[in-house]
Amino acid sequence: MRIFLLVLLTSFSLQTQGQSSSSQHIQCTLDSIDHDSLHSNINPVEMVIQEASQNWSGYAGATNILNPKHGSVTAVTGTWVIPTVQKSSNQTYSASWIGIDGLSNGSVEQIGTAQNWSNGSQQNYAWFEMYPRSAYIINGFPVQNGDIISAWINYVGSGVFQMTIENVTRKVYFTVPTSYTTNLSAHRSSAEWIMEAPSSVTGILPLANFGKEIFLNCRAIIEGVAAPIVNNNWQCVELLMDTSTRAIKALPSTVSGGSNFNVTWEHQ
């Protein structure tokens, strides 16, 4: 990974409520995802000192990228647009998410959406995961191509994380019951904004051609400081997704406005 010490251009207050005033809470059901065929995280990032990951592309922030402080991250938020994936002769997969941990440890607390090409059509759904435990599909949460999605993860104490996902376009949101989002051993040492090639027990799955994924308003609270990706209070790393032979799979842009970037698909 390439490490960047970045300068904060503007200050802000991180939203932590998890929904806009015009959105309505909806009831959803949760189904555990089969790790043999769908989303999981095995080997999220190869090593902190490397320049690339084989399944993550985007950005991460921490007190120190090489030696992140445990217990330093209390919140992360971000917004993205559901892409239209290209047709494929085989099944392909992609996941857009925000999360805490996973950069330098074996757990990830994350919530996001999946955009897959399966059985001749695009299949979208919302999900969350407290890896290494099973991921869950959020049944009944609307996810359509072009929808604007926002998500929040807040650490509320005693190992409990509050996870909320909002469809800004449809004006609905869902908060995951905290009975699903408790992890007393979570390090809380990094925050992430990621486009992922999901994995199964057999390895990393083919990356869906999502074209260009847009991430906006990517912010976190680290060591009590609420800041966008670009700031002078903590460090940031850009994650380039490539294959084992170093062919680029997904390429993040530079950060604009402190908190916005794109990820461009390059290779399956």
Whether residue 21 is predicted with pLDDT greater than 80 in this model: the reply is: no
Model pLDDT for residues 187-209, shown as the tens digit of each residue: 999 999 999 999 888 899 999 99
Model pLDDT for residues 144-185, shown as the tens digit of each residue: 999 999 999 999 999 999 999 999 999 999 999 999 999 999
Taking a C-beta distance cutoff of 8 angstroms, is the pair 95, 195 a contact?
Answer: yes
Taking a C-beta distance cutoff of 8 angstroms, is the pair 198, 205 a contact?
Answer: yes
Which tokens hold the place of 104? 């330098």
What is the CATH architecture of 2-265? Answer: Sandwich (2.60)
Model pLDDT for residues 42-88, shown as the tens digit of each residue: 344 433 333 689 999 999 999 998 899 999 999 999 999 999 999 99
What is the Cα 94 distance to its own chain's centre? 11
Q: How far apart are CA 193 and CA 235, in angstroms?
A: 14
**β-pairing, 191-196 with 95-100?**
antiparallel
Q: Tokens 């938020």 — which residue?
A: 77
Q: How far apart are CA 187 and CA 268, in angstroms?
A: 32
Q: What is the CA radius of gyration of the chain?
A: 17
Distances (CA, A) of 128 to 7, 42, 162: 31, 15, 11
The C-alpha angle 22, 27, 28, rounded to 5 degrees, equals: 120
Mean pLDDT of 234-243: 92
